[in-house]
Amino acid sequence: MYCKTCRQPLPHDARRCPNCGAPVENTVLQSGARDFTADYDPRDIQENRGWGILSYLGFLVLIPIFAARNSYFARFHANQGLVLFLFHACYSVLTRIITNILNLALGFIPFVPGMISAALQFIGIIFFVLMILGIANAASGKVKELPFIGRIRLLK
């Protein structure tokens, strides 16, 4: 862990920074998304922001997974991006299946399948919002979990 004020390493059980005396903040935010920025090396964060941003751009998540293996910052964001990508892929497949079934079953009623399909597509906006949030976190050098899916770990 690193002090947010002076960026010096902190002992694991510290309540105050031994260097500057600043209190060590709680890492759980109101939204339930945990902030681990203080646990990461500031140099690693500075050097690997680009890999973190790339992690949220769909299948391009594979590039930081293989190119930035030694960066804990890039690895964290690659994990978040991979989980987001997999959830979005599953959602897209399920939406397509449900839409096709509804078209077969309720196709004779002109507006019902269209309304349900539109509602399912509207829910898909959540993935876009999570992607923007992840890109903003990576660009600003924050190591914060995404809401809803942030605690899932696929990469170590």
pLDDT digits (tens, 9 = 90+) for 114-154: 788 788 888 889 999 999 999 999 999 999 999 999 899 99
Residue 54 in any domain: the answer is yes
Residue 74 in any domain: the answer is yes
pLDDT > 50? residue 83: yes
User: Who's near 68: CB < 8 A, 6+ residues apart?
Assistant: 48, 51, 74, 75, 78
* DSSP secondary structure code for residue 109 in this structure: S
Output the pLDDT for position 33: 76
Burial label for 27, CB within 10 Å (0-12, 13-18, 19+), is middle
Q: What band does 26 get if pLDDT is binned at 50, 70 and 90?
A: low
Output the pLDDT for position 29: 41
Asked whether the beta carbons of 143 and 37 are under 8 A apart, the reply is yes
As a whole number of angstroms, the distance between CA 12 and CA 14 comes to 6
- For 75, the domain range is 47-139
Output the pLDDT for position 7: 76
- Lookup: tokens for 71: 């960066």
Asked whether the beta carbons of 75 and 40 are under 8 A apart, the reply is no
Bigger pLDDT: 119 or 51? Answer: 51
Q: What are phi and psi of 8, to 5 degrees?
A: -90, 150
Residue 94 in any domain: the answer is yes
Percent of the chain exceeding pLDDT 90 equals: 55
Output the pLDDT for position 2: 76
Residue 97 in any domain: the answer is yes
pLDDT > 50? residue 27: no
List strand residue ranges (DSSP E) for 9-81, in order: none
Output the pLDDT for position 156: 80
As a whole number of angstroms, the distance between CA 65 and CA 46 comes to 18
Using only the alpha carbons of the chain, give its radius of gyration.
Answer: 20
Q: Report how many domains make up the chain.
A: 1
Residue 8 in any domain: the answer is no
